[in-house]
Structures are given as structure tokens and as C-alpha cells.
Structure 1
Amino acid sequence: MSEAIKATVRLKKQEAIELKDKAYALTRRAIMNGKHVVYTESDIVHFAISSTIKNIDLDENGHLAIKQENKKS
């Protein structure tokens, strides 16, 4: 697909809570390290998608799975 699509993804309540907590923790850590960066839930979702989408596949039972990248020695 070459065209960008507009989409809304509905999160489960627990996923939204975990995402909010992660954004807060990362922002807090960045600020404590002298970086004045505020991470939003959206930042994390976009990063997670772009970092893992190529590794999403099906397992032997047809369920979604994240395949492990082969690390070169």
C-alpha cells in the first residue's frame, strides 16, 4: 500500500493505562537525564509500529506472532 490511510485504533482499557504509564515513565527518565523531552502515548505507538511491523508473522497455528530477528555474530 503506497497511500497513507487514516485510521483509529481502539485500545483496551488496560492497554491505554499501560501506554500512559510508559509515556510518563519515559518522560520522567528523560527529564531526570537532563533531556527536556515529553513522550506522548502517540509517540510510543508510532515507534512500536515502525520498529516491529516487519517482524509480525504467523506461527504454526496461524496466530499472530513476532518473529525473532537473526542476530549476526
Structure 2
Amino acid sequence: MLIVPFVAVAVWLVLWRAKFSAIENVLGLMGLALIAFAVALWQARPGLGRPGPHPVARGEARAREPGRPTPTSPSRCSVPR
């Protein structure tokens, strides 16, 4: 939280010292980047409707070796069954 006053001073300086056209260009580019990110997310089809964690979080992305326990196998879980 110590950074908040420094960020506030920086924003104040930019708003009072920078030209309007420069601020407008920067904010326009940020908006364009946001739109590009939204389109990329839509095109990637992340499958947000499916329940459960991502396959990488479950450890399914790496190749399985015979006899190697999975991250969620009972031998590695700390919860007694």
C-alpha cells in the first residue's frame, strides 16, 4: 500500500503535464489491446462451461509413466480415506 501515493502523484503529473493528444493515443491503444485480448479469448474457446480444473492443474498434460503416481492419487493425498 506504500506505492499508492507514488502512483497517485504519477497520474496527477501525467494528467496535468502531458498533452491531451498523447493521453488520447495511449488510452486508445489500451482500448484496442483490450478488444484484441477479448477476440483472442473468444477465438481460443477456453471451455469455461466445463466443470473441473484445467488439465494442466490435474497433471494430465505431461506424459504418464507406468507406475508413477498422479498428483491426486491416494498415495500423495494428505486426507485420510
TM-score, normalised by the number of residues in structure 1: 0.36
Larger strand share, 1 or 2: 1
Greater RCO between the two (CA within 8 Å, min separation 6)?
A: 1
Query: Normalized per residue, which structure has more helix?
Result: 2
